Amino acid sequence: MRIGELAERAGTTTRALRHYESLGLLRARRAGNGYRAYDDQDLRLLRQIQVLRDFGFELEDTRPFVDCLRAGHPEGDSCAASIEVYRRKLAELDECIDRLREVRERLGSQLVRAELASAGGAAEPRCEFSCQADEGSTR
């Protein structure tokens, strides 16, 4: 199939396919007329890339999965390098979740303090988040 058909079947653009090709993630063969030619295996590789991108993987992180499929494995994540990328991505997500939990706890504390101050008619509550940024300013 030609690049336009592959893009249509995969729900992407020819520009994206050329970009993947420039990174070595997709390898086009050339037909006698010079047009790029792809097959169902290329569509399978492309779908693997798309699924991983939907999960938030960077393009370079998809390479071990693509290489695994090219090596003839039934699934792109059945190789050690792919499993390592999963582990690394999960560790990144865990770090992000931990940071979000910290922010949520601090925000919850701010809310409680603001509500108490508001109910008691005290001075306007101090916001730790904006004050940290203001400490360096010269206002």
Contact by Cβ (8 Å): 110, 128: yes
What domain range is 6 assigned to? 1-78
Which of the four pLDDT bands, split at 50, 70 and 90, describes residue 28?
confident
Q: Are residues 19 and 72 in the same domain?
A: yes
pLDDT above 90 for 130: no
Q: Are residues 33 and 89 in the same domain?
A: no
In tens, the pLDDT along 51-62 reads: 999 999 999 999
Please tell me the predicted confidence (pLDDT) of residue 77. Answer: 95
**pTM of the shown model:** 0.73
Please identify, among 40, 57, 78, the residue that sits at the C-terminal boundary of a domain.
Answer: 78
Q: Are residues 63 and 85 in the same domain?
A: no
**Total domains present in the chain:** 2
Please tell me the predicted confidence (pLDDT) of residue 100. Answer: 98
Rounded to whole angstroms, the Cα distance separating 9 from 44 reads 11
- Mean residue pLDDT of the chain comes to 89
Q: Are residues 94 and 130 in the same domain?
A: yes
Please tell me the predicted confidence (pLDDT) of residue 139. Answer: 41
Between the two ends of the chain, the Cα-to-Cα distance in Å is 64
